[in-house]
Amino acid sequence: MTISLPISVRRTPAPPPGTIGVGQPEPVASPAFRENAKRQLQNTQMRKNLRHATTTIRNKRLLRVAEVPNWEDVRSAGAALKDRIGRHLDTYLAQAEENLTKAGAHVHWARDAEEANRIITGIVKSKGVDEVVKIKSMVTQEIEMNEALEDAGIAAWETDLAELIVQLGHDRPSHILVPAIHRNREEVREIFKKEMGQYGTPPPDKMSNDPPILAGAARRHLREKFLRAKVGISGSNMVICDTGTVCIVESEGNGRMCLTLPETLISVVGIEKVIPTFDDLEVFMKLLPRSSTAERMNPYTSMWTGTTDGDGPQELHVVFVDNGRTNALADPEGRFALRCIRCSACLNICPIFERVGGHAYGSVYPGPIGIILTPQLRGINSPIDKSLPYASTLCCACADACPVKIPIPDIIVHLRNKIADKKKHDKRPHLEPTVMIPVNWTFNSAKHFEFVQKAVSFAASTALKNTDYIGPMPWPASPWTRARDIPAPPAESFRQWWKKNRGGQR
């Protein structure tokens, strides 16, 4: 039985607040991060769900990492390997193409999302089907493949449990690894009850919100799709150049079903995902499971080299996607973002992400990696993209957690510089240089500095007679001071004290 697509599974706008769940995705043409964040911060249920989930994964990750005595060395090895891959990417990609082709795969190259979607849609259409099963994949979300397939009348069924929840909830993912992290089990039950039956096998009539019961309903719903599908679509964690092998790590086994049951398999791969040799796999297989799901080893590791007669897919297509990656590679500081292995350790440790959730970032890549990767892939022209590098307190926790040592805070500062330069170049009004004029005057001379100190102490002692802190102030200080109490400046500065007590000696 083929389920036709009476209504969109992907595009239907999110339900109005107060219906299913409360986590509402930001619109695709998203406003700046600050506005998104304000809206998401009001969602107390989502914040509760997120705090619980990120705290659990974060603590578990620390335990698993502590078990590896040379963890720092493995991190350094991963970083060095990724940098070498970036330096010789042209050579490795050519080698990957050669060995994939020798093994029987068809290799395609896509400069951008549009080209990638044209290639993928063309392959699916050539098989005469109107549905595909797919494995969770960041790059297919990045290029909005499901939407492109839907435009061509093809349904792309998500088979990862969390992605299924997101798809049935007409929602968008909020986390790289746990896309439905903003939903709790009661919300999941409601989504399954309301939506599942419209797209295939319905859930049992009396379904509790127990995770095994919910997982069982999803398993039954997906099984008919697995058995029926003629085309499967996957991403890839790594493509090994010297053997032409594609590799996927996953936790649920849905990937294994997509990789083995359909007759045709299409693997969509970001060009930075190649690794030189089979031996290099060892480094990433140590780093990735511990940093992502906090496991010593992920439950399913699938590797396939071409096709085998009578076993698994008989046709394999690998679509390499650039979509802004070569632009990032051309930036000597920004290119380190391409080391990313999408483990999401930086998301789970980020205080901003924990509070605002993934939807505030207006991109499939949220959290610290999102704020350095998205503006490099998409440019810094839209309100959301140029606001992303400011979605950080620069606390540096992300850099400490990153298994491939991406200097995330340095790249954030670098991108902020780029945005400031662009504003200057566009001759648009920019507050920062104006603020810097008095700052420059103050710090340029000891006399000026002393004068400002005295003036501030005098003003503070006059204004703050009965209190020892500065409360809310008028604009432009209001955004900072309305949520923070600043200690009042001391009546006597250190310089004054030194002069009085030490006679100004040096």
Dist. CA 170–CA 191, nearest whole Å: 9
Give the whole-angstrom CA distance, residue 244 versus residue 302.
14
Between CA 199 and CA 291 the distance in angstroms is 35
Q: Please say which residue, 65 or 259, places its beta carbon nearer to ligand SF4.
A: 65
Find the part of the chain contacting ligand SF4 (CB under 6 A) among 16-24, 113-121, 395-403, 452-460. Answer: 395-403
Closer of 345 and 356 to ligand SF4 (Cβ): 345
Count Cα atoms within 13 angstroms, Cβ side, for 395: 13
Nearer to ligand SF4, 189 or 342 (CB): 342
Q: Is 403 left (phi over 0), alpha (psi -120 to 50) or beta?
A: alpha
CA-to-CA separations, 334 to 103, 169, 179, 204, 339, in angstroms, rounded = 35, 35, 26, 50, 10
Q: Return the number of the residue (203 or 403) whose C-beta is nearest ligand SF4.
A: 403
Partners of 267 in beta bridges: 234, 318
Strands 274-275 and 486-487: unpaired
Min separation Cβ 388 and ligand SF4, Å: 14
Interface with ligand SF4 in residues 327-346 (CB under 6 A): 340-346
Candidates 266, 369, 377, 388; binder of ligand SF4 (CB under 6 A) is 369
Contact 99, 241 (CB under 8 A): yes
Nearer to ligand SF4, 313 or 403 (CB): 403
Q: 164 or 343, CB closer to ligand SF4?
A: 343
CB of 337 to ligand SF4, least distance (A): 7
Q: Decide: residue 334, CB within 10 A, 0-12 exposed, 13-18 middle, 19+ buried.
A: buried
User: Residue for token digits 């009085």?
Assistant: 500
Instruction: Looking at residues 287 to 306 of the shown chain, list those that interact with ligand SF4 (rule: CB under 6 A).
Output: 291
Q: How far is the CB of 472 from ligand SF4 (least distance, A)?
A: 36
- Paired tokens of 475: 């604009």
Query: Closest approach of Cβ 257 to ligand SF4, in Å?
Result: 26
Q: Cβ of residue 269: shortest distance to ligand SF4, in angstroms?
A: 16
Q: Comparing C-alpha atoms, which of 276, 277, 281, 279 is closest to residue 237? A: 281
**DSSP of 36-84, one letter per residue?**
HHHHHHT-HHHHHHHHHHHHHHHHHHHHHHHT-TTHHHHHHHHHHHHHH
Q: How many CB atoms are located within 10 Å of the residue 144 CB?
A: 19
Residue number with CB closer to ligand SF4 (105 or 338)? 338
Q: Which residue lies nearer to ligand SF4 by CB, 23 or 368? A: 368
Range in contact with ligand SF4 (rule: CB under 6 A) among 47-55, 199-207, 397-405, 475-483: 397-405
Closest to ligand SF4 by CB, 302 or 344: 344
- DSSP state letter for 152: T
Q: Which of residues 401-430 bind ligand SF4 (CB under 6 A)?
A: 401-404, 406
Q: Give the separation between CA 273 and CA 415, rounded to whole angstroms.
A: 23
For 71, other C-beta atoms within 10 Å of its C-beta total 16
**Position 251 contacts ligand SF4 (CB under 6 A):** no
By three-state DSSP, how is residue 351 classified? helix
Tell me the window of 167-175, 299-307, 318-326, 396-404 that interacts with ligand SF4 (CB under 6 A).
Answer: 396-404
- Minimum CB separation from ligand SF4 for residue 433, in Å? 31
* Closest CB 290 distance from ligand SF4, rounded Å: 11
User: What's the closest the beta carbon of residue 409 comes to ligand SF4, in angstroms?
Assistant: 12
CA atoms within 13 A on the CB side of 139: 31
Q: How far is the CB of 4 from ligand SF4 (least distance, A)?
A: 38
Number of residues this chain uses to bind ligand SF4 (CB under 6 A): 15
Q: Whole-number minimum distance, CB 347 to ligand SF4, in Å? A: 7
Nearer to ligand SF4, 344 or 392 (CB): 344
Binding residues for ligand SF4, rule: CB under 6 A, are 291, 340-346, 368-369, 401-404, 406
